A and B are shown apart, each in its own frame.
Chain A
Amino acid sequence: MPITYYIFLAVIIFCIGVTGVLTRRNSIIVFMCIELMLNAVNLLLVAFSKMHHQRMLVLDAANVTAGTESQLFVFFIMVVAAAEVSVGLAIIVMMYRAVHSVDINFLNRLKN
């Protein structure tokens, strides 16, 4: 599988996420599109890790852990995304309690 296929797939999913952030008005869906973009980046990191692993195996067949680092990066991205979602949804719930809407047109000011 050429690496460009994975790059194109990740770019397409990332741009779908960007389009969703730009066009949708519901702040929860905007948040979900951000998750989509994070996942596209994760997919690309794993693909590059696999490619690097194969390159390193050609040089040194005993080095079976080459390319593990980027999978750990993906792991940490998931950790940060989970923390981000919990705080972000708490903010959205708080805002919904204040203005009874999650439309981002109402959320263009911080005060009230």
Chain B
Amino acid sequence: MDKTQFMFWFLSALAVFSSLMVITRKNPVYSVLFLIITFFAISGHYVLMNAQFLAIVNIIVYAGAIMVLFLFVLMLMNLNKESEQQKNKYLLWSGAIAGGMLMVIMIAALNTTEPAVISQPGAGQIGLIKNLGTKLFTEYVVPFEISSILFLSAMVGAVVLGKKGD
């Protein structure tokens, strides 16, 4: 087992464990913290697959910006005291069984006997900023500009929704 394989299994186990923790913790603040660990593990996977730019963006945008937003909202609401009421046990079990069934069926459907192999995960240079930026600002410049309009409308929408009074 070489270094890359070891890192793959370690990061996979970390991602699965912490995402399980996200959905099982009672305290929402712990859920947010475990979700940050999940995002770091997924960023590690990006680095292993030579997508360095996406790894950095993932850490900055998700773990840095979005999770801080979640944490702010949670702490503003002060939900730590009241634990959420579970309506009935059957609802919980049916949800868990439905999710597990989906997982089993998708894994069984996608399990091919002769898989394609990513032989040299560290080689290549697709993830470098130069290649991504050239592609982004030549072929994909229209979606890029449209996404700036999306951000503007999201900003206006958040301000309008969050304004006190009507």
- List chain A positions with a Cβ less than 8 A from chain B: 1-9, 11-13, 15-20, 22-26, 28-29, 31-33, 35-36, 39, 42-43, 46-47, 49-51, 53-55, 57, 64-69, 71-72, 74-76, 78-87, 89-94, 96, 102-103, 105
Contact residues of B between 117 and 151, Cβ < 8 Å to A: 117-121, 124-127, 131-132, 134-136, 140, 143, 147, 150-151
Verify B154–A86 contact, CB threshold 8 A: yes
Q: Which of B84-120 contact A (CB under 8 A)?
A: 84-87, 91-92, 94-96, 98-100, 102-103, 106-107, 110-112, 115-120
CB neighbours (8 Å) of A92 from chain B are: 73
Is the CB–CB distance between B54 and A46 below 8 Å? yes
The closest CB in chain A to the CB of B15 belongs to A13
User: Measured between alpha carbons, how far is A99 from B86 in the docked complex, in Å?
Assistant: 18
Contact A87 to B157, CB < 8 A, known contacts A54-B124, A64-B124, A65-B134: yes
Chain B neighbourhood of A103, CB < 8 A: 84-85
A2:B106 contact, CB within 8 angstroms: no
Which listed residue, A19, A22, A85, A96, touches B69 by the CB 8 Å rule?
A85
Task: Tell me whether B58 and A78 are in contact (CB under 8 A).
Answer: yes
Complex: A42 Cα to B124 Cα, angstroms? 19
Q: How far is the CB of B112 from chain A (nearest CB, A)?
A: 6
Interface size on B, residues (CB 8 A): 84
Q: Evaluate contact between A25 and B62: CB separation under 8 angstroms.
A: no
CA of A51 to CA of B53 in the docked complex: distance in angstroms? Answer: 18
- Min CB–CB distance A46 → chain B (angstroms): 5
Question: Chain B interface (Cβ within 8 Å of chain A)?
Answer: 4-5, 8, 12, 15-16, 19-20, 22-23, 28, 31-32, 35, 38-39, 42, 45-46, 49-51, 53-54, 57-58, 61-62, 65-66, 69-70, 73-74, 76-77, 79, 84-87, 91-92, 94-96, 98-100, 102-103, 106-107, 110-112, 115-121, 124-127, 131-132, 134-136, 140, 143, 147, 150-151, 153-155, 157-158, 161-162
B residues in contact with A18, CB < 8 Å: 98-99, 102
Complex CA distance for A9 and B8, rounded to whole angstroms: 10
- Separation of A66 and B110 alpha carbons in the complex (Å): 25
Closest 5 pairs between A and B when the two form their complex, measured CB to CB = A19-B99, A22-B95, A20-B23, A15-B103, A83-B154
